Amino acid sequence: MDITLSRAIFGKPLIDGYPAEDVQILALSEGVSPEEAHGWRQIAVLEPLPRASVEQSQAVGIFSGAEQNYILAHAHNQTGDLGSPVYEYINLPAEVLRALAGNLTPLLKMVEHPITLTAPLEEALPPLTMPKIKSWASQARRQCFERLFHGYGQRDIRRVLALLSAALHPRYITLQYVPGGVEQRVAIVQGLMALLPATLRGELTFATHTVNGNAGKARIVFSDTASTTTRWLVDWTNEGFTLVEDLQTPYIMHLLQYWDEDCTSFLDHIDAMNEIAVHLDADTDLGDKLIQMTNRHTLDVSVLAGDDVDIDAVKDVLMSDYPLTEELAFHYAERLLQHALETRDTEAAQIVTQRMDADPALDDKLQAVLDTALQTQPDAVYAFVRVRMQEGVSEKWKQRLQDAARAALEVVINDRDLEIVNNWLILLAREPLDYGLDPILHEGILSAQPYAHDDGALGQLLITHAVRRDREALNTLLADEALLNALPGDFGEAICEYTGNPTELLDEYGREIFLLILMRASLAQNGTLCTPAAVRQVWTMFQNDGVIKHLIEDYQPKLLIDEWIENGALYLSDEALTTLMTLMLSDERDDLFAQLAPQLATRENLTTMLVTALENSRRTGDAVLDLVSALLAEDILTQQQVIDIYVALLTASNWQESDLPLTEQLARTLRQSPDLEVSTDILWRLLDIAAVAKDELMARVAAKRLFNSIQQIDDESLLTDRLQRIYAKLQWSASTRKAIMDFWRHFVRQQPLSRLQRLEKALTENGDRVLDEAHDIVQSSIAFRRMLGNRSLPEFAEEINAAFEVLQSLAVAFDPSSRGEVGFDAGTIRSELNAHQDELSPNERRVLANNLKELSQIITTMAANRSKAQLLRSEDDVERQLLSGEQNPHGAVDLMKWLSGYLGGAQANADEDED
């Protein structure tokens, strides 16, 4: 497929047959802007040779353009006129120049015809068509090199390399006074291009003629005039230009090293480097590319030869995208593999294993290297393979890891170096399960077991590692009496005798051994090591860690907790069990607490243990109630134990307001079970809280129990004080006060008169109005008993009847009636009395006289003390109220009326508690 190339032509147009003063755009290909064309011209600094004919003035050049493209420039003078130059600039894609590989002939053919424009074109300039690209033939390339080598070089390769080095140098080169025209000069350029790998030849830019030898950015420029320049300046007529030190670059010296007077082999050597060149970064400067290529080629040769090399350079090669031959790939990987084995270089191992995974053939070759290393340094092989395993597990690499582990462990066990054995067992025990190293660990432990009969430290190591991963091996070790007897110091004592300081055991031997020791002790029902501190440590592991990664299942914290729940009540101390309960409750593991609690029912100190656990767990009052209620429902606690727990918890918290639900439950429980015991101090506290909370139930329960307690007090003053204290706390509750007074009435009725008189005295001396009702009750009881005296009620009734008949007789006989006043004759009365005087002795006569006098006085006093009618209350109202009990009696007459009403059933609302 042909390639079309856009272009631009500049020149001095003819105006009236004369050229213009300035160079102008004469023609542009479609799509090329004037700005872009001027950019090409600025880059491609090229002038015609100072010769009149078109053919002889022709000059060409290739220049680096924008976006990694190139500009092919062509210039010549118009016929016979040195002042009328014309220029053509062609946009040349980089891939075209790279494909030509130094074959400039196709390009030169495109510009061999003269430019005939003398005036600007109005239409677009047709683009050029690039014929089929053909790379530079080997023979043509060799001829160009040999022509330069035999001509300017005079068969001295250093002269030729000096030119190339100057062209590659950042200063570039100007060749002065080179004879001939464009063909001769292009041949020189191609002679130098022949010394570059094909991919890089197009980057050797040039201009076959410039007026100013310092102009432009072409690496090689030709000039026919003397000029001052920063470039390397070579006078073609002078043989003095040599390969000075500044020009002895790595690439040039590399070529010089391979020069053997054989042009063909020399160029073949350069061709071999093209495989490297094609992978170099296109944005890198040509000189830097050649340095990179040289270093890489030198490295390839050194690696193949087995010479010492920079290992970082080897890494760079293997990490690059540069394709290696199978031989090179093997030697590079082998070299880095050996380095990784010797130095444990993780990065090197990663690079090699990645190559092995990507190339099965390389993997097979390097397996032989690993097999050899396995015989002498299995630990190094293990470290190498271990790096790969971190990237993902595969069966192939897992088998390699297992082989290395087995070989390494066998060596260290045979050497009996405890430190190294320990390190290897630690390593294997901690490796991920999917590495499949458990069988290797198992083999290693059992292989070392016989040695542990005489070496306790080895036995300790084996147990330490077996507990991490190998249940079967651990059981074998723990069943080996000889091994156990050889275990050293406190480790052996803890494993075999279950003694020691658990905290120190944890610190010294780690949590795996710590859990092993505690489980063994627990299964032996020996709780010595299961201290509160040990219980806390196990619980923390259980709660925070759950399953400990490097520990076999039999000794996980959960299984130890389960063992304590099931059997701990048989051997754990009260303190340890209390700690366990506290931790369960604190972390709200009520499910576990519910499993443990039934096992503790027979513990003598269960109440104290529960109180401590509940208190220290900081559970809310409602939670405590739920927990205790559940224990009661399961018959784990008695009612008395529940009361004791409530009291202890409330006392410990100083009966805070937040504990009110618990206090209320205490009161309810005491009410439901009157036989339960609680101290008087607690009852007083309940009464205080009831007064603050205005809790009727709590107040009634506390007051009743307190009243029952004060009944046992013999000291009437102390009893009165206690009653006063109770009653004072109940001023807010009428119903509870009434209940207490009912209790008091009942109590007073049970007391003998002498005790009542002492109580009355104590109440009088106390004088607190709070006790007025209690005082009235005592006084009423005393008065009633005085009224009855030693009589029974029937006897009293009989005497009342007799008194009534006598008084009635007196009233009928002598009191005025509706018929009028009764006349009174003293003589008659005396006669009547005298007529009966024989019936009484003189003494009886005197007694009757005295009784009549005193009776009249009592009747007079009783009449005076009765309730009297008032302005708004008649005598009938007073009597009705006394009979109905609405009014209390104010004297004996009132009492008789009140008693009449009560006995006659007029007092329907009388207290049911009274007999």
| Minimum mean pLDDT range among 274-278, 539-543, 706-710, 823-827 | 823-827
Integer Cα distance of 460 and 467 in angstroms: 11
* More confident position, 424 or 904: 424
Q: How many domains in the chain?
A: 2
Residue 597 reports pLDDT greater than 70: yes
Statement to judge: residues 165 and 298 lie in one domain: yes
Residue 608 reports pLDDT greater than 80: yes
Condensed to tens digits (0 to 9), the pLDDT of residues 506-538 reads 999 999 999 999 999 999 999 999 999 999 999
Condensed to tens digits (0 to 9), the pLDDT of residues 78-96 reads 866 677 899 999 999 999 9
Statement to judge: residues 70 and 147 lie in one domain: no
Q: What percent of the chain has pLDDT over 90?
A: 51
Integer Cα distance of 521 and 572 in angstroms: 11
Statement to judge: residues 270 and 230 lie in one domain: yes
User: What average pLDDT does the chain have?
Assistant: 89
101: helix, strand or coil? coil
DSSP codes of every residue in 150-173: HTTTTT-HHHHHHHHHHHHSTT-E
Residue 550 reports pLDDT greater than 90: no
Residue at 615 is within a domain: no
Statement to judge: residues 26 and 128 lie in one domain: yes
Mean pLDDT of 407-436: 85
Question: Residue 220 contacts by C-beta under 8 Å, 6 or more apart in sequence?
Answer: 167, 172, 173, 175, 188, 189, 192, 204, 205, 206, 207
Statement to judge: residues 163 and 302 lie in one domain: yes
Condensed to tens digits (0 to 9), the pLDDT of residues 490-500 reads 999 999 999 99
Task: Band the pLDDT of 215: cuts 50, 70, 90.
Answer: low
Statement to judge: residues 30 and 172 lie in one domain: no
Condensed to tens digits (0 to 9), the pLDDT of residues 243-265 reads 778 878 999 999 999 999 999 99
Condensed to tens digits (0 to 9), the pLDDT of residues 18-65 reads 778 889 999 999 999 999 999 999 999 999 998 878 889 999 999 998
Residue at 64 is within a domain: yes
Parallel/antiparallel/unpaired status of strands 81-92 and 232-235? unpaired
Residue at 39 is within a domain: yes
Task: Band the pLDDT of 238: cuts 50, 70, 90.
Answer: confident
Range of the domain at 85: 1-135
Q: From residue 273, how far is each of 7, 313, 326 by CA, in Å?
A: 34, 17, 17
Condensed to tens digits (0 to 9), the pLDDT of residues 107-145 reads 999 898 888 887 788 889 999 888 788 889 999 999 999
Q: Which of 81, 116, 135 is the last residue of a domain?
A: 135
Statement to judge: residues 224 and 206 lie in one domain: yes
Residue 735 class from Cβ within 10 Å (0-12 exposed, 13-18 middle, 19+ buried)? exposed
* More confident position, 308 or 870: 308
Residue 420 reports pLDDT greater than 80: yes
Condensed to tens digits (0 to 9), the pLDDT of residues 365-375 reads 999 999 999 99
Angle at 805 between CA 799 and CA 808, to 5 degrees: 135
Mean pLDDT of 214-222: 85
Q: Which of 309, 337, 369 is the last residue of a domain?
A: 309
Integer Cα distance of 99 and 93 in angstroms: 10
Mean pLDDT of 809-829: 78
Statement to judge: residues 88 and 144 lie in one domain: no
Residue 658 reports pLDDT greater than 80: yes
Task: Band the pLDDT of 216: cuts 50, 70, 90.
Answer: confident
Q: Which of 110, 135, 160 is the last residue of a domain?
A: 135
Residue among 732, 688, 694 nearest 706 (CA):
688
* Beta-carbon count within 10 A of 590 CB: 16
Residue at 632 is within a domain: no
Residue 912 reports pLDDT greater than 60: no
Residue at 574 is within a domain: no
Residue at 369 is within a domain: no
Pair 135, 12: CB distance under 8 Å: no
Statement to judge: residues 131 and 8 lie in one domain: yes
Task: Band the pLDDT of 911: cuts 50, 70, 90.
Answer: low
What pLDDT is attached to residue 913? 46
Statement to judge: residues 159 and 289 lie in one domain: yes
Statement to judge: residues 252 and 159 lie in one domain: yes
Task: Band the pLDDT of 915: cuts 50, 70, 90.
Answer: very low
Residue at 76 is within a domain: yes
Condensed to tens digits (0 to 9), the pLDDT of residues 317-354 reads 999 888 888 999 999 999 999 999 999 999 999 999 99
Statement to judge: residues 171 and 70 lie in one domain: no
What pLDDT is attached to residue 15? 78
Residue at 172 is within a domain: yes
